[in-house]
Chain A
């Protein structure tokens, strides 16, 4: 119980930080909106009057990109772990009576909840603006499903980035790997384009990777393209991948801590 209060305090502090830096989050949303608008125009040209492509109608594909953009804003975060290891700041956290993983997770959760809440009226405005060209999801259950699956997506990405962060124990400035992996994850998750549109070999590889559960799965579940059995399977797979990544992270962390020299502090 005492520990829980500590993590809640971390959440609250990060929440305050997000409020203070709200203009930056808003400009990021503005950037995401630009991306959605460009996808709207691009796909209008690609459809050019056709009723459906690969099982998506034009309003569905516009909704897909809008929801995927919103999801990305609430799940893709740069973690402070790299800088903490590089500058030796990690030492201060290691001696505290709380888990460093839990500390960063609480921060990430605050950032995610803030982004999702801030984005909600923006997305609502976008959907009202494009109401004749988007697919409106009317079932309230789908909205609940979206946030549950988005939580799973956030945790997969968080654990994945924590594993990459352990590289910093060996190679300085390895956060570059995150930039690179984010681009690949963006494609493999279906944020860039729904996986069914990818050319053959890329689609096969993307289907094998866990990243479809951080993009395509939550979006399709929200849009009602999956039945309850598929949603249950997807949620189980999300849980499984979080577990796999957690085990890998523990191994990588143990290896890293042995190498850690608290350089800089």
Chain B
């Protein structure tokens, strides 16, 4: 209990500091926010253009695709708000030796990376837009909506997103100068389309190796009424498995760290 309270207090302090920091350079914050809005707007235009040519894509109607798109944005925005920013700076922390200082603090480095780079202030407005896209999709969809299952799967998706981010950041311990942020973004971009469009090896890869299917498509299906209990259990299992693997990968990587400052 004491552990949870400690983390909660640090979380609150981090949010306070982040808000003060953002208000200090408010024009940059507003620009980032507008950029995220533009990104959301363009993805909606893209889907409109696609569905201008066809009624459904891999069995997904436009409204169902909006549910998926909304889910994709919600998971992405919550993840960015809570932890992504710290991990994508790993290159800098490792090559500059800043990680040394973090290692001396009485807390797990991953927690420090999460709290120190929290980004809630900027990601709440786009999160609201993501939720609006989701509800727009639901209002035009006829399937039964399973909210408790959806929320549970959304939580799983965020944990898996975290595990993937940690795993990819661990690459920095092996190749410090390699920037994997672009490829990370490109991989996650694949999740905004229904997993059913992918065939053969690609489908297998995006279901079990990089579990985008379980992160985005399966939760969205909980709102379109097509989810099965087997998929639900699979999603939970994948979440636990990925969290465990990411923890092992991170620890192995950290053991290799030799400090840039010597």
Contact = CB atoms under 8 A, between A and B. Distances in A.
Interface of A: 21, 23-24, 27-28, 30-32, 34-35, 37-38, 41-42, 44-46, 48, 53-54, 171-174, 176-177, 179-180, 183-184, 186-187, 192-193, 197-199, 202
Contact of A30 (B46, B49, B183, B197): B183
Main secondary structure, interface of A, reads: helix
Contact of A23 (B35, B175, B202): B175
A84 to B, nearest CB: 18
B76 to A, nearest CB: 15
Given A27-B178, A193-B46, A184 B53 contact: no
Contacts of A171: 27
Contacts of A27: 178-180, 182-183
A187 B179 CA distance: 25
B180 A21 contact: no
A42 B53 contact: no
B52 A176 contact: no
Nearest to A180: B35
Interface residues of B, number: 37
A184 B42 contact: yes
B38 A180 contact: yes
Interface in B26-77: 27-28, 31-32, 34-35, 38-39, 42, 45-46, 48-50, 52-54, 57-58
Given A37-B202, A42-B57, A198 B49 contact: yes
B31 A41 contact: no
Given A28-B182, A46-B53, A41 B198 contact: yes
B199 interface: yes
A197 B179 CA distance: 34
A205 B186 CA distance: 27
Contacts of A37: 202
Interface stretch (B12-20, B97-105, B187-195): B187-195
B2 interface: no
Contacts of B175: 23
Contacts of A179: 35
B104 to A, nearest CB: 29
Given A171-B27, A176-B35, A45 B183 contact: no
B197 A41 contact: yes
B233 to A, nearest CB: 27
A38 B189 contact: yes
A202 B183 contact: no
Interface string B116-152: 0000000000000000000000000000000000000
A183 B25 contact: no
30 contacts: A21-B177, A31-B186, A34-B183, A34-B190, A37-B202, A38-B189, A38-B193, A41-B193, A42-B193, A44-B197, A45-B54, A45-B57, A45-B197, A46-B50, A46-B53, A171-B27, A174-B31, A176-B35, A180-B38, A183-B35, A183-B38, A186-B42, A192-B46, A193-B46, A193-B50, A197-B52, A198-B45, A199-B45, A199-B48, A199-B49
